[in-house]
């Protein structure tokens, strides 16, 4: 199996007065010009709304968390921007941190930031933690952190629910090989859990080889329901162990974990794919609400491809094939457009059945394009002659994600 490319490119650069430049050797005493770059920590405190911090390529080694403080924000019309310079690749390396819940890599407590084209690795906890709102992350690679690669949650335990992070977007990003060394049950690829507000979105992202889950949307009784999260055009595979096989008995290995502690939250998952995960592909994880599951494909997961034991979930055009256990599908089968895997065989209320012949390829292949978009080639793509092509709703829509 191919691993997604770690190479991403940014758009053409338009230089403007007030932009700042940072390099691995930059000094806080420098003015932040392209010929005399400043430090990242200094640039974050100096940049004005509508302006851009350009990170030159190379490795930035940190032993302490880099924080965008609460109140350090752009506006709805003028974000603050932290982006890779051209096609260069800045790597924020926090490997010098010790393993501790306070040792995050990049901590974002401000609002209206764009962070684009960075690699973040080795943090003692989360690679990137988002505690602010209306932020946008694009083309991020987070890996080998000692908790979840990219996570959203309240900025402090004293934060009111109205201050929980909301309306953040994580776009075309890749989180892999995150592992917590104490028990191997916390480090996910992406998480919007415990204390997040409404409107958070993951689009075009990949989670792979994380020791726990690909995505975790856990709600907890102590803090109550989180806001509904939307996941679309995303892929979770081979979660439950890192790429070198490291795992523990506590490592769950779900592709998309969509709940917790029997708290109802109506998340939305569309056009997404789960395969080769240790446990379930998509799981309600005790969420008894009405999760909207539309045009998703789940294949060859260790247990159920779709595990929705309880609830009034809404299923439209989903495709399951060759799961390790029968699907559990509590809810509405919209227009009988879902093809499930139950009792070791394909099942559909209208008699549509899936077989290997319905796919162009069942050989896993996942890469990334230059802008970070997942590329699967023919993997899990419906074959031209498949009766699953055009059999969804609305009429002419395919069943599954491809």
Q: So which residues are the catalytic ones?
A: 257
- Residue 20 and residue 323: Cα distance in Å, rounded? 51
Q: How far is CA 221 from CA 217, 252, 262, 288, 313, in A?
A: 13, 20, 9, 14, 21
- Residue 365 and residue 381: Cα distance in Å, rounded? 11
Please provide the distance, in angstroms rounded to a whole number, between the alpha carbons at the two ends of the chain: 19
- Residue 123 and residue 141: Cα distance in Å, rounded? 13
Say how many C-beta atoms besides its own lie within 10 A of residue 236's C-beta. 32
Handedness of CA 218, 221, 223, 224 (dihedral sign): positive
Across 220-327, where does the E strand assignment appear?
A: 229-232, 235-237, 256-257, 268-270, 273-275, 282-283, 292-294, 297-299, 306-316, 319-321
Who's near 292: CB < 8 A, 6+ residues apart? 266, 267, 268, 269, 270, 313, 314, 316
Residue tagged 């081979």 (tokens):
238
- Residue 161: strand, helix, or coil: helix
Closest-CA residue to 204 (of 177, 231, 229, 228):
231
Residue tagged 């939307």 (tokens):
230
Give the long-range contacts of residues 368-371, CB within 8 A, separation 24 or more.
Answer: 368/4, 368/5, 368/7, 368/8, 368/172, 368/174, 368/206, 370/7, 370/8, 370/9, 371/8, 371/9, 371/139, 371/172
């Amino acid at each position: 199996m191919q691993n997604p490319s770690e190479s991403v490119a940014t758009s053409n650069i338009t230089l403007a007065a007030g932009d700042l430049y940072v390099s691995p050797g930059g000094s806080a005493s420098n003015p932040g010009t392209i010929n005399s770059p400043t430090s990242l920590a200094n640039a974050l405190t100096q940049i004005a709304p509508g302006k851009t911090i350009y990170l030159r390529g190379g490795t930035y080694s940190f032993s302490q968390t880099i924080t965008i403080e609460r109140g350090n924000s752009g506006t709805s019309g003028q974000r603050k921007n932290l982006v890779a310079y051209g096609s260069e690749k800045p790597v924020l390396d926090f490997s010098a941190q010790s393993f501790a819940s306070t040792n995050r890599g990049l901590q974002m407590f401000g609002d209206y930031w764009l962070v684009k084209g960075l690699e973040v690795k080795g943090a003692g906890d989360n690679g990137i933690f988002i505690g602010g709102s209306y932020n946008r992350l694009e083309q991020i690679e987070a890996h080998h952190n000692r908790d979840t690669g990219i996570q959203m949650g309240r900025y402090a335990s004293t934060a009111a629910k109205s201050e929980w992070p909301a309306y953040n977007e994580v776009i075309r990003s890749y989180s892999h090989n995150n592992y917590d060394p104490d028990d191997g049950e916390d480090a996910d690829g992406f998480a919007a859990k415990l204390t997040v507000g409404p409107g958070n979105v993951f689009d075009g992202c990949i989670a792979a080889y994380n020791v726990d889950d690909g995505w975790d949307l856990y709600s907890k009784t102590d803090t109550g329901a989180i806001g509904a999260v939307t996941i679309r055009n995303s892929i979770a595979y081979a979660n439950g162990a890192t790429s070198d096989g490291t795992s523990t008995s506590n490592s769950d290995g779900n592709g998309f974990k969509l709940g917790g502690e029997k708290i109802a939250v109506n998340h939305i998952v569309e056009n997404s794919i789960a395969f080769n995960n240790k446990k379930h592909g998509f799981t309600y994880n005790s969420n008894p609400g009405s999760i909207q599951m539309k045009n998703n494909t789940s294949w060859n997961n260790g247990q159920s491809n779709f595990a929705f034991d309880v609830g009034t979930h809404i299923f439209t055009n989903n495709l399951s094939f060759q799961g390790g256990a029968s699907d559990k599908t509590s809810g509405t089968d919209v227009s009988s457009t879902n093809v499930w895997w139950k009792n070791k065989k394909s099942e559909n209320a209208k008699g549509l059945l899936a077989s290997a012949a319905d796919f162009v390829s069942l050989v896993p292949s996942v890469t990334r394009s230059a802008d970070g978009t997942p590329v699967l080639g023919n993997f899990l793509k419906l074959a031209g002659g498949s009766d699953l092509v055009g059999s969804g709703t609305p009429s002419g829509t395919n069943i599954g994600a491809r």
